[in-house]
Structure 1
């Protein structure tokens, strides 16, 4: 998974072992239960900072008790190593905040 411009295969996605993330069409999706709006807002801010640093930007939805994240590399029409890397970073932020991914 070294070429960030290469669309990953289904097998490569399965090997990534991303807990709480799901393949939805040509995207990775996850919903995180934040239990409080303020926690969700902090989570979104952390995701935003990491996305800016990586220059790779997810679609985010913040609701009262949840944050939904969609990752896809629009330039290649699917999921790349950039998405896997950012998904891992986002999962780390969730863990740091005590936020669980909905299965």
Structure 2
């Protein structure tokens, strides 16, 4: 099955009500971005590892920036040149991971 390459507008992304995510149209392709405050480096690293495992399962890989004391995540479907339903789905998984880690 081919991945969905239908790109979403900022309005369509907003309708998804993804807590903590913003639409960014400043780069080569539209993306959605979230910053998760982790409080310390080791908690951030654990979150990055959890996101990495889920991203591998989905075969959809975010850009991740691990810093003290936060993790910034950027999602965009490079093959589609913007935000797709795959990005929305992974953002929801990442939000659940963040909540489970009680961040």
Fold conserved between structures, TM > 0.5: yes
Q: Tell me which residue corresponds to 2:80.
A: 76
For 1:61 and 1:10, locate their aligned partners in 2 and report how far apart those are by CA, in whole Å: 23
1:93 to 2:97 alignment: yes
User: What displacement does 1:36 show?
Assistant: 1.4
Residues matched between the structures, number: 97
User: Which stretches of structure 1, 4 residues or more, deviate above 3 A after TM superposition?
Assistant: none
Q: Which residue of 2 aligns with 1:41?
A: 45
Aligned residue for 2:20, secondary structure, equals coil
Give unmatched runs, 5+ long, in structure 2.
none
Q: Name the SS for the 1:69 alignment partner.
A: strand
Match of 1:4 in 2: 4
CA displacement at 1:4 relative to structure 2: 2.0
- Using structure 2 for the length normalisation, give the TM-score: 0.90
Task: State the superposition RMSD in angstroms.
Answer: 1.0
Paired with 2:66 and 2:10, the residues of 1 have a C-alpha distance of 28
TM-score scaled by structure 1? Answer: 0.90
